[in-house]
Structure 1
């Protein structure tokens, strides 16, 4: 007889304990053990939260190289079946070898579960018939569990589920995450309800009244925004380092529909537009995706959403200053171009309409579509097409954490028929889907890859552009890490081409994420290792760094409503000289619309206490030495970048923290 030492670790996770009997079978290349009851003197504590328990499995002869283990559990007589979350199993063989079996999943029933040994294997490496069988069985089950659904025509597809509880247990929020999310969601609005504000359909009477509500929830940056929201320099700064750094681009030729002349923007002939454009000092933000969008009706009042064009000038002291705003796309007598030299409230209202357009463009295109919806497609496709033993699964599974449930809740609570966005945003309802469809149809691969995007927008040398500075460094660090991992597993382009699971993954993404449209540059297959590395870098960057950049600061920049109105209920001025503070207050959203927006942005900006920072992998899916060393190097590079960002931020009036690796979550989890 020979003995195998089996070590079972139960995760440190609420409700991970089981009091059921647990059984194991070891399967190797030369045979298999009998199904063995894992009994211990620990009794009820054997599989308690965080427990590490040792057992011995006896076999008549050696099993050879271990291929997989089978685990099942049965409830005790008169006891109910419970759920168990083991993290890993380690097996020490009589020959002195140790095999690692990562599990990291809920076992909720009495069915036998198969788990592969932790060495990553591509599909053509899996030569043993039991390995191939378990691989096929796992993917067949996953295809059933992770089905595709269509929420609305013209936008990326999503996971099929009727309720959050209907999602597979592996992708559920933790107990901690669920509790904190519900608490934040309820208290954010309850506080405002108690003040009688959430049902108040009246106009704001003065700025101080907005401030009294705003005082409920504040951050250091939201305080700064409140003090500086009228300032032109701060207005320009937000295009670089606010929650939407994706709109601005260098302007070398004025659009035909934006007839700005030198004498309009440069008094006394101090500059010329042609010269300043040649020097690279003129920038444009064009919200043409919003043109003609059907707007919402809130509190029985038709809302207003513009599609502005904004011209900005980089001054000698490196400030980005707005110099012209046209609120509609088509030039006309009743569509004046506004300038800083106009009356105070003409100019301020023009900026307010831009900031309100910014809210819809940011929330629907930059935030929802380009991070949340794409991350869901990447995740569902991964879970449908890659088994746990595949190196891509091991690399990407930490970057899918909570994404499917948070997106289900977004569809349920934000963009559904009775969702907050649908009811209280100017672009809610039909307009929302118009913008999403336009955004997907105009999406390019290069715009998802920050080095290409920055170059295409001509922003390589813009000063004080911290999103670019931190984002490019993060991209490079992630790219080197991914390159190292795939360089270890794929020695030639031919191996990438031969990996049918890898090819199914990218094809699934193309069909269900990009709806089989020829979005410029989006790959439909992988021909080279370099193509694979770039795409996977984009996937990780999108779900971590990019999402953090466009999500975390929502309350910072939007909590003070006048800076980012969720909706506006009065049309913009068609002539100059008639605007006043009263006009502005009547244009702002009603009280209930304001507080709904504030509460939602507070919720969406709130980090959970079980947050996992970029590059931290508490679940150990890789067992080989080289990828584990690459992970350690990755973490060290992220630490260096974090220290550099913190050092820079000490000298800034408005610190840019959204791409500090310690503040970036591994996945789209909020």
Structure 2
């Protein structure tokens, strides 16, 4: 069985009652909470039936396969079949759950232990505020609630992060602090991020292609809305309520870190468009890119283990099956991770795909016309992605606008 801490964590994560510190308008509705509870309960049953609630180690890969194989998603089944292949290992940097970390290496370090002759067989030939909040409101739906649940059940002492990962709660908080200290505005703005990482011409990088299309659609929509409220740059600079909001994000969001590139004031319409586009993209498409594929790529634990019980092999001679199995997280930690992924990889309640905002938030025919154009452009992007994926052995569906939710609600 799962440990008592895991059961308690899952129970509080899907409590039928909303957090008392949130107003009803910011909380999940009852049907949403019930669906999360049902999904968590079903995950617990599957884990117990597979014998993943106890045990600190595996005896063989056969045991791992017997416990983890079974009905999954098309991508998770693909992972089971190909996880040991070098090509698939590399492809995950393009199509997996961390597509924003890929960065071009302009030169090899002098102590690089791989020679040209070693990699030659793998290479092909010739390859060596109020107005703003009306715009942003749909993208903040349930975000406060899910963040409270994350603090109470994932990052609480003894919670799921402690059970399922090697770094645990303290290590995760340290990593988050380190990442926040290094965060820049440019890396959250897709065109600048792609240029800075030097990945504009890498073939098969579907995240880049889809993210650029969605960024362009959002940017065009935001430009139209901003132009309705601000005729000149001076009107942006003189909007004190807007400047206070931007200043709060600079002060409390990035802790006044000037090297982050986040502004403390906005002085032009293009700067406002960029800032709002960044927020909408991060609350929708970027979250989908790094969240929605977690179960697909990690349900088969050997492909993405959440922890290791010993250092990985240092030499090829040490890479025996016995040592690799001993390195993998045990059944208990595997079960805790699967329980988490079964909940957080999927949206609960009523889906709200990007562009599905209520027209009631937009008064007048011009804003509603802009929304219709935005939806039409997203529909075109969706058709292109589905046509591409139909021809791929390993599809990349995570930025299909039909699947991208408007807000971070899981």
TM-score by length of 1: 0.57
CA distance in 1, matches of 2:84, 2:95: 17
Partner of 1:476: 216
Correspondent of 2:32 among 157, 177, 192: 177
Classify 1:527/1:424 alpha carbon distance in 2 versus 1 (closer, same or farther; 3 Å): same
Partner of 2:82: 228
Partner of 1:260: 112
Alignment of 1:136-535 (within 5 A): 164-198=19-53, 200-215=54-69, 218-255=72-109, 259-260=111-112, 264-267=114-117, 315-316=123-124, 386=129, 390-535=130-275
CA distance in 2, matches of 1:223, 1:165: 41
CA distance in 2, matches of 1:609, 1:170: 15
Secondary structure at the aligned position of 2:400 is classed as coil
CA distance in 1, matches of 2:127, 2:395: 16
Alignment of 1:560-575 (within 5 A): 560-575=300-315
Which structure 1 residue ranges, 4+ long, deviate > 6 Å from structure 2?
Answer: 317-320
Secondary structure at the aligned position of 2:107 is classed as coil
Alignment of 1:27-176 (within 5 A): 164-176=19-31
CA distance in 2, matches of 1:268, 1:536: 47
Q: Per-residue deviation at 1:450?
A: 1.1
CA distance in 2, matches of 1:183, 1:434: 33
Classify 1:631/1:619 alpha carbon distance in 2 versus 1 (closer, same or farther; 3 Å): closer
CA distance in 1, matches of 2:119, 2:204: 28
- Per-residue Cα deviation, 1:58-101 (whole angstroms, up to 9, x for no partner): xxxxxxxxxxxxxxxxxxxxxxxxxxxxxxxxxxxxxxxxxxxx
CA distance in 2, matches of 1:318, 1:669: 46
* Contact 2:75–2:297 (Cα < 8 Å) also in 1: yes
Correspondent of 2:337 among 573, 576, 597: 597
* Contact 2:284–2:405 (Cα < 8 Å) also in 1: yes
Report 1 or 2 for greater relative contact order, CA contacts < 8 Å, sequence distance ≥ 6.
Answer: 2
* Contact 1:189–1:596 (Cα < 8 Å) also in 2: no
Unaligned runs of at least 5 residues, structure 1? 1-162, 272-312, 321-385
- Per-residue Cα deviation, 1:358-380 (whole angstroms, up to 9, x for no partner): xxxxxxxxxxxxxxxxxxxxxxx
Secondary structure at the aligned position of 1:249 is classed as coil
CA distance in 1, matches of 2:379, 2:120: 47
- Which has a greater percent of strand? 1
CA distance in 1, matches of 2:78, 2:125: 21
CA distance in 2, matches of 1:636, 1:541: 17
Classify 1:175/1:205 alpha carbon distance in 2 versus 1 (closer, same or farther; 3 Å): same
Secondary structure at the aligned position of 2:309 is classed as coil
Q: Per-residue deviation at 1:250?
A: 1.1
* Contact 1:318–1:463 (Cα < 8 Å) also in 2: no
Unaligned runs of at least 5 residues, structure 2? 1-17
Q: Per-residue deviation at 1:174?
A: 1.4
Q: Per-residue deviation at 1:520?
A: 2.8
RMSD: 2.1
Partner of 1:543: 283
CA distance in 2, matches of 1:605, 1:586: 28
Secondary structure at the aligned position of 1:165 is classed as coil
Q: Per-residue deviation at 1:498?
A: 1.3
* Contact 1:566–1:597 (Cα < 8 Å) also in 2: yes
Aligned length: 394
- Which has a greater percent of helix? 2
- Per-residue Cα deviation, 1:123-142 (whole angstroms, up to 9, x for no partner): xxxxxxxxxxxxxxxxxxxx
Secondary structure at the aligned position of 2:258 is classed as coil
CA distance in 2, matches of 1:646, 1:318: 31
Classify 1:168/1:217 alpha carbon distance in 2 versus 1 (closer, same or farther; 3 Å): farther
Classify 1:193/1:519 alpha carbon distance in 2 versus 1 (closer, same or farther; 3 Å): farther
CA distance in 1, matches of 2:119, 2:65: 41
Secondary structure at the aligned position of 2:318 is classed as coil
Structure with max Cα Rg: 1
- Per-residue Cα deviation, 1:108-129 (whole angstroms, up to 9, x for no partner): xxxxxxxxxxxxxxxxxxxxxx
- Per-residue Cα deviation, 1:638-669 (whole angstroms, up to 9, x for no partner): 01111111111110001111111001000001
- Per-residue Cα deviation, 1:304-357 (whole angstroms, up to 9, x for no partner): xxxxxxxxx8x337999xxxxxxxxxxxxxxxxxxxxxxxxxxxxxxxxxxxxx
Classify 1:658/1:598 alpha carbon distance in 2 versus 1 (closer, same or farther; 3 Å): same
CA distance in 2, matches of 1:619, 1:255: 54
- Per-residue Cα deviation, 1:183-202 (whole angstroms, up to 9, x for no partner): 1112212331244421x123
Classify 1:512/1:598 alpha carbon distance in 2 versus 1 (closer, same or farther; 3 Å): same
* Contact 1:441–1:519 (Cα < 8 Å) also in 2: no
CA distance in 2, matches of 1:576, 1:254: 22
Q: Per-residue deviation at 1:552?
A: 0.6
Partner of 2:380: 640
Q: Per-residue deviation at 1:268?
A: 7.9
Classify 1:166/1:267 alpha carbon distance in 2 versus 1 (closer, same or farther; 3 Å): same
